[in-house]
A and B are shown apart, each in its own frame.
Chain A
Amino acid sequence: MNFDNAYLELSKLTKSYPSPEGEAVIVKDVDFKLRKGEFVTVIGHSGCGKSTILMMVAGLSTITRGAIILAGKELTGPGPDRGVVFQSPSLLPWMSAKENVMLGVNQVFFTAEKVEREQIAEYYLSLVGLADAMDKTPKELSQGMRQRVGIARAFALAPKMLLLDEPFGMLDSLTRYELQEVLIQLWRREKITAMMVTHDVDEALFLSDRVICMTDGPEAGIGEVIEVSFPRPRDRKAVMEHPDYYKLRARLIHFLEVKAHKHAPASHSPATATVPDAEAATIA
């Protein structure tokens, strides 16, 4: 794999907190590179630190050691160059869907005319399927629709990167399927580099180019990186019927059920602690 053109680089990324028993290390020495336009998912058990990594990239959590470089610049805090979609959409309840999106747009495009800023908000809200619900407030929208606003809000900033923290975790399975499609269509259109945290194996396989499997914390790290090369644009039925789909699915589940627990007494020799990149399956 050629990484000369790494767009996002995590280097020796470590997060720890002081605790009475000494330093509590959550995430340790994570090295990873994302290419421009790539969709990467981070999967792992709850509490393994996958969201911590994403929040460090977002600039919402401080970095203890190591660095994050986005498009050649080291990140030092939050900024509108990274659009974040949270698990709950976190909309301001007294503002309409459009006003919620405009909040960020007005900042990032402050030099533009109001008409143009409104066009941006309307464009993305229409693409996520809310053309006729732009003037509704969050309480008039269903949970799924609110999350659509969250997605539109992130894209409308024209960010360099999209960061998604279990964006569909709170939705029922069918709504989740629908929103995955909304997201992937928009992602294809904008060709934006994306990093998503999830614990849904099917979601990871349907959306991503690569899946990072995290080992359990404390001192969580990357256990395995799995290449997912179903042809794009992906149709859910075609993906599910692809001969490799259930192989990859089984592999991910096996990782989560067995390998993720790196501190388990049975499975531990240094040789299995780090799985070399070459072992990552490449599916043509």
Chain B
Amino acid sequence: MPLLEIKAVSKGFGPAKGRTEVLTDLHLEVEQGEFVAIIGYSGAGKTTLMSLILGLQFPDEGTVLLNGEKVTGPGPDRGIVFQNYSLLPWLTVFENVALAVDQVFPEWTAQARRAHIEKYIAMVNLTPAMQKVPSELSGGMRQRVSVARALAMQPEILLLDEPLSALDALTRANLQDEINRICQEEKKTVILITNDPDEAILLADRVIPLTSGPRATLGPSIPITIPRPRLRAQINTNYDFKQTRCEVVDYLLKARRRDRTATSMKLVLPDLIPEDLDAPRNPFGQKRRPRRRSEERRETVEVRV
């Protein structure tokens, strides 16, 4: 039985009239220990999909099953890392992680909880910053706290909702490597949502494109067979990396193009030559006449809207 199963799920928002269908007929099965990346354009409905898995929203049609049971609300069996760090600004790194741990493991002794919290803070290399509050941390460090908090709950499934999109390229690369390492160590089941093909290929066992919304749906899943550990530098040289990268990018761009209806439009571009703005506007009291090339451009252009 798959750990997570999404069956024929559809979700829309708004009143019956003028309703936006965000997701239609979604199917997804995630096995224990698998790392799945879902890649799609912004606005495609990636976050809506995440909310459905989390139990923050419920599907209009179809079901979301976790361990064969219907998801009825959020729970500590699904850990989430959001794009914005969602840390409590007045609590230290330790206290932010403690918040989750105290909720999930109330039966543990204070000492056991403390050791547990420190273990996960160490895992994301934040031990020196344990007593700092979020405003004293960089974006990358805050996101590490988020990761530690999610992992410390020991969820069955870890959900990453564009966790690195808000970071600069270098910090992003570092954190990708770290997520990669931690997920291998912890053997977690992970669903990563991203819009970066390189990130998806580097981290995941399987990449699934989400076509652009409205009425978005999941495309065919592309297995990533590149052996681990995967090294960033290989992206340049490894043949599989190159092939997979081409495949993913090509699928997404083509899908987007198909979604848009092409219409022919008649457009006119007058044959005007730009005026020299330094010259007087009305020389000798004469109104300046527009300067023209030989002929104006009239054309029918295929425009996608």
Residues of A within 8 A of B (CB): 79-81, 107-112, 116, 119-120, 122-123, 126-127, 129, 131-132, 142, 144, 157-159, 172-175, 177-178, 199, 236-237, 240-241, 246, 249-250, 253
Which of B40, B237, B267, B277 is in CB contact (< 8 Å) with A108? B277
B234-263 vs A: 1/0 string, CB under 8 Å?
Answer: 001100001001100110110010000001
A111-B290, A126-B267 in contact; A116/B195 too (CB < 8 A)?
A: no
User: Do A172 and B196 touch across chains, with their CB atoms under 8 A apart?
Assistant: yes
A157 to B275, CA, bound (A): 10
State whether the Cβ of B114 lies closer than 8 Å to any Cβ in chain A: no
Closest to B198 in A: A173
Indicate if the CB atoms of A127 and B197 lie closer than 8 Å.
no
Q: What residues of B have a CB within 8 angstroms of the CB of A240 in the complex? A: 242, 245-246, 249
Q: Which residue of B lies closest to A237 (CB)?
A: B250
User: Is B17's beta carbon under 8 Å from chain A?
Assistant: no
Most chain-B CB neighbours within 10 Å: which of A108, A142, A174, A237? A174
Assembly CA distance A88 to B197 (angstroms):
24
- Give 24 CB contacts A-B under 8 Å: A80-B277, A108-B275, A109-B274, A110-B281, A111-B291, A119-B267, A123-B268, A126-B267, A127-B303, A129-B303, A131-B303, A132-B305, A158-B273, A172-B196, A173-B196, A174-B40, A174-B42, A174-B256, A177-B253, A178-B253, A240-B245, A240-B246, A240-B249, A246-B237
Q: Report, nearest first, the 3 A-B pairs whose CB atoms are least far apart.
A: A111-B290, A116-B270, A172-B195
| Residue in A111, A129, A199 whose beta carbon sits within 8 Å of that of B304 in the complex | A129
CB-defined contacts of A123 to chain B, threshold 8 Å: 267-269
Q: Is B165 close to A, CB under 8 A? A: yes
Q: Contact at B274–A158, with CB atoms within 8 Å?
A: yes
Query: When A79-B277, A178-B253, A237-B246 are in contact, do A109 and B290 touch as well, CB less than 8 Å?
Result: yes
Q: Looking at A123, A236, A249, which has the most chain B CB atoms within 10 Å of its CB?
A: A123
Would you call B272 and A120 a contact (CB within 8 A)?
A: yes
Q: Is the interface of A mostly helix, strand, loop or mixed?
A: helix
| B265-286 near A? 1/0 per residue, CB < 8 Å | 1011110111101000100000
A110 pairs with B236, CB closer than 8 A: no
Distance (whole angstroms) from the CB of A244 to the closest CB of chain B: 12
Contacts across chains A and B counted by CB atoms under 8 Å? 105
Given contacts A126-B303, A178-B256, 10 further A-B contacts (CB under 8 A): A109-B272, A110-B281, A116-B272, A123-B268, A173-B197, A174-B40, A237-B246, A237-B250, A240-B246, A253-B236
B275: chain A residues within 8 A (beta carbon) = 108-111
Chain B residues with CB under 8 A of A120: 269-270, 272
The answer to whether A174 touches B195, judged by C-beta atoms less than 8 angstroms apart, is yes
Q: How far is the CA of A119 from the CA of B272 in the complex (A)?
A: 11
Q: B41 an interface residue at 8 Å Cβ cutoff?
A: yes
CB closest residue in chain B, given A251 = B236
Q: A131-B265, A236-B250 are in contact. Are A126 and B301 (CB under 8 A)?
A: yes
CA distance A250 to B235 in the complex (A): 10
Which residues on B sit within 8 Å (CB–CB) of A199?
169
A-side contacts of B42, CB under 8 Å: 142, 144, 172, 174-175
B289 at the binding interface (Cβ < 8 Å): yes
CB pair A177–B249 under 8 Å, yes or no, is yes
Contact assessment for B165 and A172 in the assembled complex, using a CB-CB cutoff below 8 Å? yes
Chain B residues contacting A144 (CB-CB under 8 Å) are 42
B110–chain A nearest beta-carbon distance, Å: 43
B218 → A minimal CB distance (Å): 16
B305: A residues at CB distance < 8 A: 129, 131-132
Verify A112–B272 contact, CB threshold 8 A. yes
Given contacts A142-B42, A236-B253, contact A112 B288 (CB under 8 A): no
Give the distance to chain B from A105, nearest Cβ to Cβ, in Å. Answer: 9
B173 CB to nearest chain A CB (Å): 12
- The CA-CA distance from A197 to B202 in the complex, in Å, is 27
Set of chain A residues within 8 Å of B289, measured between Cβ atoms: 111
> Does A174 lie within 8 Å of B252, measured CB to CB?
yes
Q: For the complex, is B68 an interface residue (Cβ under 8 Å from A)? A: no
What distance in Å separates the Cβ of A135 from its nearest Cβ neighbour in chain B?
14
